[in-house]
Amino acid sequence: MSAVALEKSASADKATWLGSTTVPMLIVLTFLILFFSAPLLPAWMIQVPQQWAVPFIDWTNALIDHLRNDMMFGLFTFRDMTRSVAELITWPLALVEGLLVAGFPDINLPAMPWLMTVGLAGILGWSLRDWKLGALAAGGVAYMAIFGKWELSMVTLAAVLVAAPVASAIGFFTGVLAVKKPWFEAAIVPLLNVLQSLPHFSYLIPIAVFIGVGHKAGVIATIIFAIPPMARLTILGLKSVPDEIREAGSMAGCTRLQMFWMVDVPAARQPLLVGVNQVIMQCLAMVVIAAFVGARGLGHDLLFRLQSLKIGEALESGVAIVMMAIVLDQLSRAATEKQPSHVEVTDSWLKRFPFLSASIAVVVGSIVLSTITSYASVWPKELTLSTAPFWDGLVDWITFYFYDPLQYFRDAMLLYVLIPVRDVFQMVPWTALLTLVAMTGWVLGGLRLAAIVSGFVLFIAFAGFWERSLITAYMVAVSVTACVLIGLPVGVWASKTERRAAMAKLWCDTFQTFPSFIYLIPVIMLFKVGDVAAISAIIIYAMIPIVRYTVFGLRNVPKHIVEAGVMSGCTRRQLLWNIRMPLAFPEIMLGINQTIMFALFMVIIAAFIGTKDLGQEIFRALTFNDAGKGLVLGLCVAFMGLTADKLITAWSTAQKKKLGLV
């Protein structure tokens, strides 16, 4: 089998060797010719003239005004409808928040004592996997109390606990409908793609218009962002239910409903739960951004502290968000892996319901304790720990001692790399880029792919912000290159042993959930406002997927192929470069793809540092309440990401097929 695979890939390579180098060469050559002849080209071929620009922004604004002001069916406006639907969320939100932190003053019922929350979290972890997970969950919750973040984090937790089920349910039913109705799938999948790559800030003004501002709007924003992964995984899960299982269902005489709820859904349990896990992580990633439209809790606290230069305290809130993410991630993963179990009905109550019994014990115990001492209901302020002075000291120390040596690096980067590269990017004619992208698409995926990706580029060119788009592209290109140069070796190193791989995963998880706003301040302190600071912030964040996918790809190279290599006497270097690397490469390319997506996300956030790209224009749209502009520019960013995504995915799929990995 392994020999066959190797042989196949080798022969495939040989057959297309000529083709595989000449075609890319031709594409690049055409691009270069257009690029270098730029001075000779007519002006309209370099940048789309203003009078040709398509008024996408005006159209979008007209649509929004229509939805906002004009009656539907003569009864109410679309805006009234979205607002009343959004109103529904206040009920569950008030309930969960009341339980966790606010209490119910109307009926004189206090919130759960912190001890009870800690205990119940512990039992949940224990029941889902083992006592270790229970300890992690209990410890995570206790952290919030001990470090004085109790109220803020419970408000955030309540928002997540409400947003995640709602987003999961909407995503689930969207996915189901897509599986049942092909026309719906054809419409919804591209929409999901765009939604997932649209910068979050583009949504904020439409949300302010159609939902309002406040905690509720923040929760709704969170829900909207969290829907796509669930819908995607539902489609994937339901489609992958084996026919055998469905046939067994038919033979047992299932009705359509039974077939769905008792056969399809249980069989697709794993991907569905992975979807829920993704939803939860997405909700936590939104904590800070949702604060821009009024979400309370850790996110708002973090922004406020950053704004008043209290970096240590902001970091503390950031760490609380990470803690919450780790606990919720682990719990929902454990739920994914847990198989349904059965117990004998004849067993004793305690044996049949150990977790229920323990929960009752915790509830009763904590209430009794709270009546004895208030320490059990609210963690006393005077015992609160703070790590803020430590973080502040660390930041001071780094800016003091590392600043000077880093300046040489900063100046060199700026003068010899960034400024020249930026100048080159700014000269790219749109026709050259269009040709490059269209031809690449054609080679990799035929006319259809070529048409899609050229459509993306045309949209960006005709939206009227070509120069700014090129600056965004330049920052992303430089950052992604740096990420690959650093992340690939790190990934290779980390893939060597199980231990290192686990460590790399832990770092990736932590950095990914760490609110990216936090990076902004230290990079400014070290590199000053400018491209170096912005690009450093992007690199820190976008490095995660390339490391993750490299480790994953290298560790998942089929064992038998590696063994075949060992048997034929490969050295370790040969094993890596001739066997593992080529086989893992399609996976690594997907990592690069994700890196591009992460970089595009961060490049918008980097506008807080000060950039001259699309991100800055999106913020300006925020200032002028120009929802149309925000959305259209957001689409430009999304289409950049989707162009890269489509091309890389097509390449990676073809490559995997060639290597016999699929």
Partner 1 sequence: MRNLTKTVSVAAILAFAASTAFAEDSTDTIKIPIHNWSSQIVGAHIVGKLLEKTGATVEYVSSDSQVVYTAMCEGDIHLENEVWEGAFGVAFEKVVKEGCVLDAGTHDAKTREEWWYPKYVEEICPGLPSWEALNACADKFAVAETAPKGRFLGGPVDWLKHDAERVKAFNLNFDVVNAGSAAALWAELASAEKRKEPIVLFNWTPNFIEALYEGSFVEFPDYDPKCKDDPSWGTNKDLPYDCGNPKGGYLKIGVWKEFPNKWPKAYAVLQKVNFTNMDVAVQAKLTDIDGMEPEQAADKWLADNESKWKAWME
Q: Which residues bind partner 1 (CB under 8 A)?
A: 204-205, 208-209, 212-215, 217, 291-296, 300, 303-304, 306-309, 396, 399-400, 403, 410-411, 414-415, 419, 520-522, 524-526, 528-530, 606-612, 616, 619-620, 622-625
Indicate the angle between helix axes 131-146 and 114-128, nearest 10 degrees: 160
Measured from the CB of residue 202, what is the shortest distance to partner 1 in angstroms?
13
Q: How far is the CB of 316 from partner 1 (least distance, A)?
A: 15
What's the closest the beta carbon of residue 15 comes to partner 1, in angstroms? 51
The residue (of 296 and 646) whose beta carbon lies closer to partner 1 is 296
Identity of the residue, 462 or 619, whose beta carbon is nearer to partner 1 in the bound complex: 619
Q: How far apart are CA 230 and CA 164, in angstroms?
A: 10
* Nearer residue to partner 1 within complex by CB, 7 or 411: 411
> What Cα–Cα distance (Å) separates residue 415 from each residue in 225, 410, 472, 527, 659?
39, 9, 19, 14, 42
Nearer to partner 1, 410 or 548 (CB): 410
What minimum distance in Å lies between the beta carbon of 378 and partner 1? 16
CA 278 to chain centroid, in Å, comes to: 9
Which lies closer to partner 1 via its Cβ, residue 280 or residue 518?
Answer: 518
Q: Which is nearer to partner 1, 422 or 646 (CB)?
A: 422
- Give the span between the Cα atoms of 594 and 545, in whole angstroms: 6
Q: How far is the CB of 68 from partner 1 (least distance, A)?
A: 9
Least distance to partner 1, CB of residue 349, Å: 46
Q: Please report how close the Cβ of residue 300 comes to partner 1 at its closest, in angstroms.
A: 5
For tokens 């097509």, name the residue: 650
DSSP assignment of 114-165 = HHHHHHHHHHHHHHHS-HHHHHHHHHHHHHHHHTT-HHHHHHHHHHHHHHHH
Q: Which of 262, 236, 256, 243 is nearest to 176 (CA)?
A: 236
DSSP 437-453: HHHHHHHHHHHHHHHHH
Question: Which CB atom, from 199 or from 591, has the smaller least distance to partner 1?
Answer: 199
Cβ proximity of 323 and 143 under 8 Å:
yes
Q: Which residue has the tokens 């203003």?
A: 50
- Name which of 524, 540, 425, 427 is nearest 482 in CA terms: 540
What CA–CA distance (Å, rounded) separates 268 from 270?
A: 6
Min dist. Cβ of residue 162 to partner 1 (A) = 17
Judged by beta carbon, residue 276 or residue 609, the one nearer partner 1 is 609
Considering just the CA atoms, what is the radius of gyration of the chain in Å?
A: 27
CA distances from 371 to 148, 366, 381, 623 (A): 22, 9, 18, 51
